[in-house]
Structure 1
Amino acid sequence: MTTDSFHDRVALITGAGSGIGRAMAVAFAKAGARVVVCDINGESAERTASGIGDTAIAAVADISDEASVAALTETAISAYGRIDVLCNNAGIIDNMALPADIPVEMWERVLRVNLTGTFLVTHAVLPHMLREGRGAIVNTASEAGIRGGAAGAAYTASKHGVVGLTRSVAWAYAKEGIRCNAILPGPTLTGIATAEGVRDFDPAGITRLGPVLALGEQMAQPEQMADAALFLASDAASFVNGAIVPVDGGWSAG
C-alpha cells in the first residue's frame, strides 16, 4: 500500500491494545488513516494510540456489552465524523477443552465475546457506513473457523460463527457499497486473552488436538496479519467481498 492509500479515512479497530490489533492500528495509521484504538484494557489502548501519535485516539470498551459498544461508536463518530473501516479483532480463547469437558460458563463467555461481540460492533457501525454509502469490515476469525480440531470447542464454534456472520454481512450489504471479509490467522505471536476462569489448558484437549496443532508450528508475526487486513480494507480489494482468507503459511492447504 502507498503511504496515503487510506488518507482521510477512519478505521476503528478492536483489540488494538496488543498483538494483531496493535499491528493493525499501526499499519492503518501508516497508510494515512485516522485510527480509533479500542481495547478493554485502557492502558494498552493508550500505549498503542500514543505510539501512533495525533492521528489516533484510544477508547475503552467491552465488546460483549451493548451499551459499551454504543459508547465506543459514539466516541468514534464524535471524534472523526464517520467510520470507513472496521476491524473486528478483539477475542478471547478457551482452555482447549473438548465438548464434553468445557464448563458452560466458559462456553458462554467465549461465544459472547468472540461472536456476539463481533456482531454488536458491526451492528452499531453499519448504520454509519450505510449513511456514507461505503465501508469495509475485516473480521479476525481463525484457522479454527474452518477446522474442527484446531482449538477448543467454544473457540472453534465462535470462530465458525464469525465466518458465517462475515458472509451474511457481505451478502446483505454488497449493493450498498459495504464489503465484509475475514482473515483466518494461523499460529501467531499475539497477546490474545484467555476467558475468565482459564488457569490451565485441558490436558485431554491438548492431547487430542496435538497432531493438528503441530501442522501449524510456523509462527507468524502480527504485522503479517495486519498486512492482510490492510489489503482487504483497501481499494485494491474493491471487488473482494465475503472472502474467508487463511493467513497461515499454508497450514490450511494440507
Structure 2
Amino acid sequence: MDIGLQERTVIVTGASGGVGRHIATAFAAEGANVVLTYRSGRDEAQKVADEIGDRALVVRYDQADPGAAEALVAAAVEATGRVDVLVNNAVAWGDMVPFDTVPDEEWTALVRGNVEGAIRLTRAVTPLMRAAGWGRLVHLSSSLVTDGVAGGEYYTAAKAALHGFSRSVAFSLGRDGDLLSNVALLGLTRTATNTHVVEQVGKIYEERSPLGRLIDAAEVASAVVWLGSGANTAVNGQVIGVTGGA
C-alpha cells in the first residue's frame, strides 16, 4: 500500500538509537529519504544509515545550539532538495532528583533545549512545507506529561509545552495546504536502550495495559510513520496516545 512517502524527505532527530532508529528505518521502508540526526552517537547513527542505504543522510544536530536547526535543514535541502516531514524526537533528560534542588542553570537549559530546539526546527522547515503545499510535523512526547513522575518536572514541562505549540501550529498551517501537526504521546516503550528501566518498572506498566504487555519501538514507529504520511489527511492538531492503552 502506497502511503505517499515515496521520494519525500524526512528529518528524524535523535535517530541514533531507541525509538528514533526504528522511526528512521520505517520511513525508509516506505521509500522516503531519511535525514538521521545525532548529538554524540555518530557511530550508532551511521549504523542505522548503513542499514537504510543510499536513502540515508547522517547529520550532527544539537537541539540546544541556536544555529543547529538552520544548518540541519540546509544539509537536508542540499542533499535532497526538499523537506517534507519532520519528526521531533531528540530529547534531553534531567536527573531524577527533587526538582527544587536542581540549579537554575541546569533546569533552565533542560527546558529551553527541549522546547526551543523543537520550535526552532519546526520554524526552519515550515517555509519549505508552505511552498510545497504539503508537510507533516510529528512531535514526540511522553505519557509522563499526564501521569506525572517525581523528578521529571522539567522534562514534562517541556513536553507539555510542545502540546500547545503543535495545536496552534496546526491552525497556523491548516489553510496553507496539506500541512498537519500532531503529537505522538508515548508510554514506556521497550527499546534496545532502555532495558534497565524496563527491568525496574516494566511489570507495573504491563499490568496497567489492556494488552498486558509493553509495546516496542517498531510498533511506535508504525504509528509515527502513519501520522507523517500521505495516508493521514484528517488527524491534525491532536495528541495521539501510542501507549498500547496503558
Residue 99 of structure 1 is matched in structure 2 by: 99
Contact 2:3 2:230 in 1 (8 A): no
Alpha-carbon distance, 1:104 to partner: 2.4
Unpaired runs of at least 5, structure 2: 195-199
1-side partners of 2:150 and 2:45: how far apart?
29
Note if 1:20 corresponds to 2:19.
yes
Q: How does 1:85-234 map to 2 (within 5 A)?
A: 85-149=85-149, 152-177=152-177, 178-190=179-191, 215=208, 218-234=213-229
**Aligned partners of 2:181, 2:59: CA distance in 1, in Å?**
23
For 2:78 and 2:224, the matched residues in 1 are separated by: 25
Contact 1:115/1:162, CA 8 A, preserved across alignment: yes
User: Which consecutive segments of 4 or more residues in structure 1 shift more than 4 A?
Assistant: 211-218
Question: Structure 1 residues 57-66 or 3-12, which shifts more?
Answer: 3-12
Following superposition, the deviation at residue 234 of structure 1 comes to 1.6
The corresponding residue for 2:197 is none
Q: 1:136 to 1:76 in 2, by over 3 A?
A: same
Q: Which residue of 2 aligns with 1:79?
A: 79
Helix, strand or coil: the match of 1:36? strand
- Aligned residues of 2:206 and 2:213 also touching (Cα < 8 A): no
Matched AA of 1:39 = Y
What amino acid maps onto 1:83 in structure 2?
V
Alignment-derived partner of residue 200 in structure 1: none
The 2-side partners of 1:222 and 1:117 are apart by 23
CA RMSD of aligned residues (A): 2.7
Residues 243 and 90 of structure 1: CA distance in aligned 2, closer, same or farther (over 3 Å): same
1:203 is matched with: none
Residue 115 of structure 1 aligns to a residue whose secondary structure is helix
Kindly indicate whether the alpha-carbon contact (under 8 Å) linking 2:18 and 2:192 is maintained by their aligned counterparts in 1.
yes
How far off is 1:119 after superposition?
Answer: 0.7
1:196 alignment counterpart: none
The percent of aligned pairs where both chains have the same amino acid is 34
- Aligned-residue offset at 1:23: 0.4
TM-score in terms of structure 1 length = 0.84
In structure 1, stretches of 5+ residues that fail to align are: 194-205
1-structure distance, mates of 2:207, 2:18: 22
Query: Does 1:67 pair with 2:62?
Result: no
Question: CA separation in 2, counterparts of 1:108 and 1:214?
Answer: 35
SS in 2 for 1:141: strand
Q: Which residue of 1 aligns with 2:35?
A: 36
Name whichever of 38-47 and 82-91 sits farther off.
38-47
TM-score normalised by the chain length of structure 2: 0.87
Amino acid in the other structure paired with 1:11: V
Contact 1:91 1:192 (8 Å CA) reproduced: no
Q: In 1, Cα distance between the equivalents of 2:219 and 2:106?
A: 30
- For residues 10 and 151 of structure 1, the distance between their equivalents in structure 2, rounded to whole angstroms, comes to 37
